[in-house]
Amino acid sequence: MRKSGHVSETPATHWLRQQRIPFEAFPYEYVDHGGAREAARQLGLPLHQLAKTLIMEDERGQPLIMLMHGDHEVSTKNLARQIGVKKVSPCTPDTAQRHSGYQVGGTSPFATRKHMPVWIEASLLDFDHVYLNGGRRGFLIRVASKVLAQALGAQAVHVALP
């Protein structure tokens, strides 16, 4: 696993430092459309322990964040049912960027432009730490999973599809 010393600040890492939330930085070479799988491969990390940050919206266009294992997809029907809305769907890249303030491929759940409710696949909380985007393409951070959920006010759901 490759880890680097200094990495330039992002809104996410700035927010984490302000909140005194410890994290470790893991830069890697960003590859277009490589996603979590490519990051895990380069860093030698278990893909199941990487959390994808997905910006989604309900039928009224209200945005939300879903944190999901890197090797699973989200059952949007189950998510909608569990959070009490009629429908949930992924945002377009432009809409996701407008809501989050982050470029797609570099979306972090921390310090988003708009405040959005956060949902986390419950089984991610089984890990002591999870890896997720640090606010820039080619940059992961490692955070204690319980601290992550608490800091974001994330609510656990069971919506993983293999």
Spatial CB neighbours of 8, under 8 Å, sequence gap ≥ 6: none
Map out the domains of the chain with their CATH numbers.
Answer: 11-161 (3.90.960.10)
Residue 113 tokens, joined: 């432009």
Q: Check: pTM over 0.75? Answer yes or no.
A: yes
- The alpha carbons of the chain give a radius of gyration, in whole angstroms, of 15
Model pLDDT, residue 3: 52
pLDDT single digits (tens) 135-157: 999 999 999 999 999 999 999 99
Q: Going residue by residue through the chain (162 aa), what tens digit of pLDDT does each one get?
A: 545 555 689 999 999 999 999 999 999 999 999 999 999 999 999 999 999 999 999 999 999 999 999 999 999 999 999 999 999 999 999 999 999 999 999 999 999 999 999 999 999 999 999 999 999 999 999 999 999 999 999 999 999 998
What one-character DSSP code corresponds to residue 48? G
